[in-house]
């Protein structure tokens, strides 16, 4: 009888630790709450994508059938064929890639230099310029879009080429350049100063120390800023339209998938001009074709994140290292 009491107490403590957890282990209740929260957040983000993907595979009969909300009775890829023709997809994809890639490379290099200079050197007005940088971070990019357009237009640079994107990136006025500079600034501050001093003692100048010491050590920050910048340039619509001009044409100049998606209905009516307006036409625009166009627009970014998510997470983690 005396032995049963300690056994009951031990069993009670065991189940208590299982339910509520201990100092080094999470309990069942907390695990359930955490997983429920993660599943809820994932569902909120994935629901629109899953809905678009499901609708993009539906035929006209499924669109009219209220019971076929998620699973189509028959899968069809004709919607994607129509969307590809409407957006001139492969041509627009290459041009979108050119805009995003060239602008990103210029922005990463310039922002890395600026962040390194702010972190490592003392110069007159440094505090003032840092304040201006932070202030520009709070300033919406759309507020300077019109002045930039007028400036570029006065120099005949709004001609559907990469010139406005390259110039703004090189001058530190690219999409969210101030945030990129702050990321590099914060990272370079955490790198031990002794490494730079050791390189200078060995005879390395400022430029050599930057390229041989700072750049290799900032690989994590470079990956983070590169991915962010690439996505920002890829998804931007208003500023891209401003820099390309209101008369941008995918046949004669640059364009992006987001711009093509923005004018999807007009482009569709132009491609299927003889049938698009007819209510009985087999080529009439419907939600499934629109969803297919949307899925095609976001597919490159989804694939990029799918293959680079490990490197991205590791880079974010490494970017938080502490120095001396």
- CA-to-CA distance for 144 and 11, rounded, in angstroms? 68
User: Tokens 């570029």 appear where?
Assistant: 152
The rounded Cα 164 to chain-centroid distance in angstroms is 21
Q: How far is CA 278 from CA 68, 271, 272, 291, in A?
A: 25, 14, 10, 21
Predicted structure pTM score: 0.78
Closest among 186, 159, 319, 321 to 253, alpha carbons compared:
159
Q: Output the pLDDT for position 264.
A: 83
pLDDT beneath 70: ranges in the chain: 1-27, 245-252, 273-283, 314-324
Torsion of CA 176, 182, 188, 193, to 10 degrees: 150
Give CATH for domain 88-262.
1.10.3720.10
Looking at residue 302, its pLDDT comes to 86
Predicted confidence at residue 105, as pLDDT, reads 93
Query: Whole-angstrom Cα distance, residue 159 to residue 152?
Result: 9
What is the C-alpha separation between 38 and 35, in angstroms, rounded?
5
pLDDT for 26: 67
Distance of alpha carbon 252 from alpha carbon 270, whole angstroms: 17
pLDDT score of 94: 92
pLDDT of residue 6: 57
Query: Are the CB atoms for 88 and 249 separated by under 8 Å?
Result: no
Residue whose pair of structure tokens reads 């991915």 in the numeric block: 227
């Amino acid at each position: 009888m005396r032995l049963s009491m300690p056994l009951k107490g031990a069993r009670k403590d065991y189940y208590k630790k299982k339910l509520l957890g201990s100092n080094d282990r999470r309990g069942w209740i907390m695990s359930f709450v955490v997983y429920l929260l993660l599943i809820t957040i994932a569902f909120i983000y994935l629901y629109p994508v899953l809905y678009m993907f499901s609708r993009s595979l539906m035929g006209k009969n499924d669109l009219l059938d209220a019971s076929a909300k998620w699973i189509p009775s028959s899968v069809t890829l004709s919607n994607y064929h129509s969307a590809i023709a409407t957006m001139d997809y492969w041509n627009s994809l290459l041009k979108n890639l050119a805009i995003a890639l060239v602008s990103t490379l210029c922005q990463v290099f310039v922002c890395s230099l600026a962040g390194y200079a702010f972190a490592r050197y003392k110069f007159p007005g440094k505090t003032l310029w840092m304040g201006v940088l932070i202030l520009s971070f709070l300033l919406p990019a759309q507020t300077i879009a019109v002045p930039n357009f007028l400036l570029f237009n006065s120099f005949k640079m709004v001609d559907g080429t990469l010139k406005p994107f390259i110039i703004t990136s090189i001058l530190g006025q690219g999409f969210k350049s101030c945030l990129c500079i702050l990321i590099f600034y914060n990272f370079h501050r955490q790198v031990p100063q002794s490494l730079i001093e050791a390189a200078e003692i060995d005879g390395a100048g400022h430029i050599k120390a930057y390229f041989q010491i700072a750049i290799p050590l900032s690989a994590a920050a470079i990956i983070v800023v590169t991915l962010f910048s690439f996505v920002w340039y890829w998804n931007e619509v208003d500023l891209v339209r401003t820099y390309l001009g209101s008369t941008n044409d995918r046949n004669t100049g640059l364009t992006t998938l987001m711009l093509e998606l923005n004018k999807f209905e007009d482009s569709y009516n132009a491609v299927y001009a003889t049938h698009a307006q007819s209510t009985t036409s087999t080529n009439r625009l419907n939600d499934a074709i629109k969803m297919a166009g949307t899925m095609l627009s976001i597919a490159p970014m989804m694939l990029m994140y799918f293959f680079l998510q490990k490197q991205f997470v590791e880079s974010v983690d490494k970017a938080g290292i502490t120095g001396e």
